[in-house]
Amino acid sequence: MVNSVPSTPIPDDVIIRSEARKPVTDPTLGIQVSVNQTGTPRHRLVTIGDSLTHGFQSGVIFNTGLSYPV
């Protein structure tokens, strides 16, 4: 049987809600990054990965232009 009482106290900054929060749709989290895009790359970037490599967000392929290989 599962005990519903936690073995450690819940921290004061933890908010327990009965409904899920709204999804975050800004993949940059509002953080601006400056990138120096001058010059010609020596090698072409090739990435091998999973859904995060492709731009998977919120259960669907979304914002592929913001995936890390781009």
Give per-residue pLDDT as tens, 33-52. 888 888 887 777 777 777 76
| pTM of the shown model | 0.26
Measured at the alpha carbon of residue 28, what is the angle toward residues 61 and 34, in degrees to the nearest 5? 125
pLDDT band at 4 (very low <50, low <70, confident <90, very high): low
Q: Which of 13, 57, 34 is nearest to 66 (CA)?
A: 57
Residue 12 vs residue 59, higher pLDDT? 12
Upper half-sphere CA count for residue 43 (Cβ side, 13 Å): 3
- The two three-digit tokens of residue 30, written as one number: 């509002």
The yes-or-no verdict on residue 58 having pLDDT over 60 is yes
Residue closest to 25 by CA, chosen among 68, 52, 58 = 58
